[in-house]
């Protein structure tokens, strides 16, 4: 083995072998255990969130596979409608062209082409992470099979009356030219203004002042509303106002929606461009007046002067004209919530358009789709981890609106609806099917709907569409390989756990539950593990414009400063931002990013994965875990070196390990494994990683390996042979336990270790998960080793504090103590001498004179290092004094507790007993320490 751990060659070697050996495919036996990969954007690249999430899934899959489950990690990618279309449109923009210049079909071809080019990027990056995914079953949301599922779902829901088409006010993105759902809109606080505008009453001298943040929309006002009980305006209700600038006559209406105490208490009503106003308009049967075109310019319904103006230019013009007319009463700064399109950053303009919706709110929709999705979680059939996300899920569903599923895009699943020349709608899986199911005869030719479905529509079907639904037989990919077979694969539904971010609970999780429940009658998954969001070391959200993003691949492979700067600033167009980012990177990574390897990255993710909802990723921490990998590597190197010539040893007589140390490490291993199993159940990967880290470093390496050295080199051949064997056994076992977290290094080491134990398996993943129950425990050995550790630590402390060079051999005396101490000191003499670098321990008979010495106390035994020329008497006295002080204060605390009658009466007996034991133990030590202090004079 190399002297230190070099991840790169190991990673590439093993992933290639695993994939070639087809080791990730479902075994076909055992209990089904399925995880659905949240399909990433097909043309995307891997970011830290993916890497974290996929590490979690991979740990679960590898663990369950080793436990003998029939695992399936269903992978694939999403066509990501808007996101992908936008990338290609940007590419066209660089050629000074738009998608309309190309036309629909050539454009879609071009997107497919881009998908072919970049579609493997992210899946290859996933391979670098080491994911044990069944690549033979990789799917894409626009696969033939998945598209069949989309059409079938649409048609069935339509025929059940659960999908409808309607002219509704929707969130319109004027830049992308499409409707988006409520979820795709973010409300952002912006600095704006509140303008007060005077609307004159048509008959008479009175007027009403309305307040608005969007004065330009007054061109589409159809009324002014006041509160029905507002005394100030009672007499005006029902009167008519002359709408300034356009001169239209509009009524004053009364509606509860109005807050008397806000602003002037008068609200202008623009039903065509505001959701609240739309509702009020409907209540009062006022026809909306649209004033914008789909690209947010003023249309022909407005006075000629404003027509063709962009909405913000129109605002300026309107304000100027109001000002000139003396109707602008007040302008004041105002913070407001602006709806912004998530995808384009454009300010959303509510628009009246024809769109398709899934009915989630009528009695029928609720009963068929919404309620079952709620019940699945309320009943506990689906559990969220951490549990409090349940509230988020249920509250959203309880307040849900109908889902707008049509998008005015070209990339996606085209809506399977056709229109005849009279505008009648015909829905079917294809045109023929639509005609077959027609209830009236089509007028003239049929033309398919131009729109496509929301990306999340197909994602909602992922839990069953990837398993072959709705095909009756095997589903093949373009190379003719079978990728799914519903009749067989439905055993994987429900999947075991969905690992995903909270940001898509609404977008995806809830909708999968809706669709899967409806079409299969089953829940899509039993548990939903909501993973934390990855942030930078300071807790800031990672964003390209801040320059604090990390590319997981850069952490794995490392990257020099200059390439990192180039890469991070490449896509930044604003010079100031670019400069800022460059500065930050030069400051944060003056040496670039060191290569830490996949295993260390994965271990870091595991170690950070508590139930906290954010994790702050600190490279420092990752470097620490690389050190852990190196530690493991070197421990293995030590073990292998020692078994190389001397043989692999054998168990002690009667299959009982010969030494206390062995029995102790096995006991600790058993405890660790028990703990790890529990942490897998509760998804506490942080505790899991920590338990294994501590076992490997603090117990196996720090103590067992050290203890093995005197045993291996000692005179007792049986002890040496048994120790060699135990070194190997514990190593092999812990490698298996670590494999789900750090697959590469464990495989590499395991391949060298396993043969020495006569284990025949192709790889570590094919070995069973180590069962705690199969490992013997020995509590007595644990007590012995604890004693030994105390003695050694005592000596080391004296050495360190008295500045005795570690290499210098010194005498060791033991005093007082009991028979157990004497027996143990004999048993561990060789180990003590070797590890503490002391001469053979000598017992001092009680009553005899002792040389002045520095002391440590273990129970009632004093461990003495004679002072002669080594130790400063004053310093040692001070040290003892301090120690005594500490113990005295501990004793005081115990005494206070035990002196409290209420404590003794009310606390559980075992707690009281424990407290008594403590006071006794402290007392023993205190006596010994005081005696020692006294001996020093």
Binding residue numbers? 544
Strand (E) or helix (H) holding 8: helix 7-20
Tell me how crowded residue 592 is: count the other CB atoms within 10 A of its CB: 16
Please count the CA atoms within 13 angstroms of the CA of 344 that sit on its side-chain side. 19
Distances (CA, A) of 205 to 198, 254, 644: 12, 21, 106
Q: Is 3 in the site for RNA (CB under 7 A)?
A: yes
From 168-176, 459-467, 683-691, 765-773, span contacting RNA (CB under 7 A): 683-691
Binders of RNA in range 634-663 (CB under 7 A): 634-635, 637-638, 641
Q: Is 613 in the site for RNA (CB under 7 A)?
A: yes
Q: Is 800 in the site for RNA (CB under 7 A)?
A: yes
Contact 643, 754 (CB under 8 A): no
Structure tokens at 695: 């076992």
What binding mask, one character per residue, do residues 332-361 give for RNA by CB under 7 A, x or -?
A: ----xx------------------------
Binders of RNA in range 154-213 (CB under 7 A): 182-183, 186-187, 210-213
Q: Which of 495, 555, 557 is nearest to 529 (CA)?
A: 495
Q: Which of 11, 78, 599, 686 binds RNA (CB under 7 A)?
A: 686
Q: Is 262 in the site for RNA (CB under 7 A)?
A: yes
Q: Is 621 in the site for RNA (CB under 7 A)?
A: yes
Q: Is 618 in the site for RNA (CB under 7 A)?
A: yes
Report how far residue 102's alpha carbon sits from residue 238's, in angstroms, rounded to the nearest whole number. 54
Structure tokens at 31: 């209990």
What does the angle CA 130 – CA 132 – CA 136 come to, to the nearest 5 degrees? Answer: 120
Q: Is 615 in the site for RNA (CB under 7 A)?
A: yes
User: Closer to RNA at the Cβ: 105 or 189?
Assistant: 189
Contact 23, 763 (CB under 8 A): yes
Residue 410 CB, nearest distance to RNA (Å)?
A: 27
From 143-151, 551-559, 780-788, 804-812, span contacting RNA (CB under 7 A): 804-812
Q: Is 616 in the site for RNA (CB under 7 A)?
A: yes
Contact 720, 729 (CB under 8 A): no
Q: Which of 327, 329, 482, 537 binds RNA (CB under 7 A)?
A: 537
Q: Which of 479, 620, 645, 937 binds RNA (CB under 7 A)?
A: 620
Binders of RNA in range 265-284 (CB under 7 A): 265, 267-268, 274-276
Residue 564 CB, nearest distance to RNA (Å)?
A: 21
Binders of RNA in range 480-509 (CB under 7 A): 502-503, 506
Beta strands in 108-265 (DSSP E): 139-140, 163-173, 178-180, 185-200, 207-212, 223-226, 240-242, 249-254
User: Closer to RNA at the Cβ: 634 or 751?
Assistant: 634
Q: Is 4 in the site for RNA (CB under 7 A)?
A: yes
Contact 467, 415 (CB under 8 A): no
From 132-140, 290-298, 652-660, 790-798, span contacting RNA (CB under 7 A): 790-798
From 24-32, 80-88, 561-569, 796-804, span contacting RNA (CB under 7 A): 796-804
Structure tokens at 138: 């990789």
Residue 834 CB, nearest distance to RNA (Å)?
A: 8
Report DSSP state, residue 646.
Answer: T
From 44-52, 262-270, 851-859, 928-936, span contacting RNA (CB under 7 A): 262-270
Q: Which of 26, 74, 548, 630 binds RNA (CB under 7 A)?
A: 630
| Paired residues of 188 in beta bridges | 338
Q: Is 538 in the site for RNA (CB under 7 A)?
A: yes
Size of the site for RNA (CB under 7 A): 92
| Paired residues of 533 in beta bridges | 614
Residue with tokens 């952002």: 188
Residue 193 CB, nearest distance to RNA (Å)?
A: 11
Binders of RNA in range 696-715 (CB under 7 A): 697, 701-702, 705-706, 709
How do 813-816 and 861-866 pair as beta strands? antiparallel
Q: Is 612 in the site for RNA (CB under 7 A)?
A: yes
Distances (CA, A) of 849 to 795, 844, 845, 846, 853: 21, 8, 9, 8, 12
Q: Which of 151, 156, 166 is nearest to 401 (CA)?
A: 166
Report how far residue 763's alpha carbon sits from residue 66's, in angstroms, rounded to the nearest whole number. 11
From 44-52, 351-359, 372-380, 791-799, span contacting RNA (CB under 7 A): 791-799
Report how far residue 53's alpha carbon sits from residue 732's, in angstroms, rounded to the nearest whole number. 28
Residue with tokens 């035994």: 861
Residue 539 CB, nearest distance to RNA (Å)?
A: 5
What binding mask, one character per residue, do residues 898-927 give for RNA by CB under 7 A, x or -?
A: --x-xx-xxxx--x------x---------
């Amino acid at each position: 083995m190399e002297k230190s751990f070099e991840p790169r060659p190991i990673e590439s070697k093993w992933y290639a072998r695993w994939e070639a050996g087809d080791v990730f495919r479902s075994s076909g036996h055992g209990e089904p255990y399925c995880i659905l990969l949240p399909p990433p954007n097909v043309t995307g690249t891997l970011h830290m969130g993916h890497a974290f999430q996929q590490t979690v899934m991979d740990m679960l899959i590898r663990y369950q596979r080793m436990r003998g489950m029939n695992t399936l990690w269903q992978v694939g990618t999403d066509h990501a409608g808007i996101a992908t279309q936008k990338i290609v449109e940007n590419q066209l923009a660089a050629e000074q062209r738009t998608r309309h210049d190309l036309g629909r079909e050539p454009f879609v071809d071009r997107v497919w082409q881009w998908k072919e080019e970049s579609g493997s990027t992210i899946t290859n990056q996933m391979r670098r992470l080491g994911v044990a995914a069944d690549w033979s079953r990789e799917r894409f949301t626009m696969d033939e099979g998945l598209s069949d599922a989309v059409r079938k779902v649409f048609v069935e829901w339509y025929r059940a009356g659960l999908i409808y088409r309607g002219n509704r006010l929707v969130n319109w993105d004027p830049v992308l030219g499409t409707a988006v759902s409520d979820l795709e809109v973010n409300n952002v606080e912006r600095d704006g203004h509140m303008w007060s505008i005077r609307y004159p009453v048509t008959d008479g001298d009175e007027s009403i002042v309305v307040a608005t943040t969007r004065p330009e929309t007054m061109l589409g006002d159809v009324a002014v509303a006041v509160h029905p009980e507002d005394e100030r305006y009672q007499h005006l209700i029902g009167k008519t106002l002359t709408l300034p600038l356009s001169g239209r006559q509009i009524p004053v209406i009364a509606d509860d929606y109005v807050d008397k105490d806000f602003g002037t208490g008068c609200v202008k009503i623009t039903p065509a461009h505001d959701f609240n106003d739309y509702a009020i308009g409907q209540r009062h049967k006022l026809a909306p007046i649209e004033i914008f075109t789909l690209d947010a310019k003023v249309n022909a319904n407005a006075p000629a002067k404003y027509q063709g103006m962009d909405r913000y230019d129109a605002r300026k013009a309107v304000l100027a004209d109001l000002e000139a007319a003396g109707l602008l009463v007040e302008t004041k700064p105002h913070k407001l919530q602006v709806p912004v399109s998530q995808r384009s950053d454009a300010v959303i303009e509510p628009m009246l358009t024809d769109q398709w919706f899934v009915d989630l709110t009528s009695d029928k929709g609720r009963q068929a789709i919404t309620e079952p999705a709620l019940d699945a979680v309320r009943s506990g059939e689906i559990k969220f981890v951490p549990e409090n996300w349940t509230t988020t899920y249920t509250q959203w569903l309880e307040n849900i609106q109908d889902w707008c599923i049509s998008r005015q895009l070209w990339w996606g699943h085209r809506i399977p609806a056709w229109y005849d020349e009279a505008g009648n709608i015909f829905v079917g899986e294809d045109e023929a099917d639509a005609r077959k199911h027609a209830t009236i005869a089509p007028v003239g030719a049929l033309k398919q709907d131009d729109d496509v479905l929301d990306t999340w529509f197909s994602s909602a079907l992922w839990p069953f569409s990837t398993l072959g639904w709705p095909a009756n037989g095997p589903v093949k990919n373009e190379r003719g390989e079978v990728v799914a077979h519903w009749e067989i694969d439905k055993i994987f539904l429900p999947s075991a756990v969905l690992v995903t971010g909270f940001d898509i609970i609404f977008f995806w999780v809830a909708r999968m539950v809706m669709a899967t429940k409806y079409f299969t009658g089953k829940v899509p998954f039993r548990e939903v593990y909501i993973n934390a969001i990855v942030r930078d070391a300071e807790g800031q959200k990672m964003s390209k414009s801040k320059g604090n993003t990390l590319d997981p691949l850069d952490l794995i492979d490392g990257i020099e400063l200059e390439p990192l700067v180039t890469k991070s600033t490449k896509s930044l167009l604003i010079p100031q931002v670019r400069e800022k980012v460059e500065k930050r990177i030069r400051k944060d990574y003056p040496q670039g990013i060191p290569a830490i390897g996949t295993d260390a990255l994965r271990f870091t993710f595991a170690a950070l994965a508590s139930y906290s909802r954010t994790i702050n990723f600190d490279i420092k921490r990752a470097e620490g875990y690389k050190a852990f990998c190196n530690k493991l590597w070197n421990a293995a190197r030590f073990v292998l070196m020692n078994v190389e010539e001397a043989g692999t040893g054998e168990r002690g007589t009667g299959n009982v390990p010969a030494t206390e140390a062995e029995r102790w490490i096995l006991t600790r291993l058993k405890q660790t494994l028990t703990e790890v199993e529990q942490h897998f159940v509760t998804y506490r990967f942080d505790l899991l990683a920590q338990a294994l880290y501590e076992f490997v470093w603090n117990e196996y390496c720090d103590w067992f390996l050290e203890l093995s050295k005197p045993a291996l080199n000692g005179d007792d051949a049986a002890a040496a042979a048994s120790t060699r064997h135990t070194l190997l056994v514990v190593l092999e076992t812990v490698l298996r336990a670590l494999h789900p977290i750090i697959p590469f290094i464990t495989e590499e080491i395991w391949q060298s270790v396993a043969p020495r134990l006569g284990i025949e398996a192709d790889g570590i993943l094919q070995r069973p998960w180590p069962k705690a129950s199969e490992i013997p425990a020995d509590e007595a050995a644990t007590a012995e080793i604890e004693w030994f550790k105390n003695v050694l630590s005592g000596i080391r402390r004296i050495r360190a504090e008295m500045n005795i060079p570690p290499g210098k051999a010194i005498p060791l005396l033991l005093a007082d103590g009991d028979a157990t101490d004497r027996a143990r000191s004999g048993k561990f003499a060789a180990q003590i001498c070797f590890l503490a670098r002391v001469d053979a321990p000598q017992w001092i008979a009680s009553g005899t004179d002792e040389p002045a010495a520095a002391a440590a106390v273990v129970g009632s035994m004093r461990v003495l290092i004679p002072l002669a020329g080594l130790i400063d008497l004053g310093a040692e006295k001070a040290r003892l004094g301090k120690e005594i002080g500490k113990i005295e204060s501990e004793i005081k605390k115990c005494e206070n507790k035990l002196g409290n009658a209420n404590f003794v009466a009310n606390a559980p007996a075992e707690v009281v007993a424990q407290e008594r034991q403590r006071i006794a133990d402290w007392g023993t030590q205190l006596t010994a320490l005081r005696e020692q202090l006294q001996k020093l004079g």
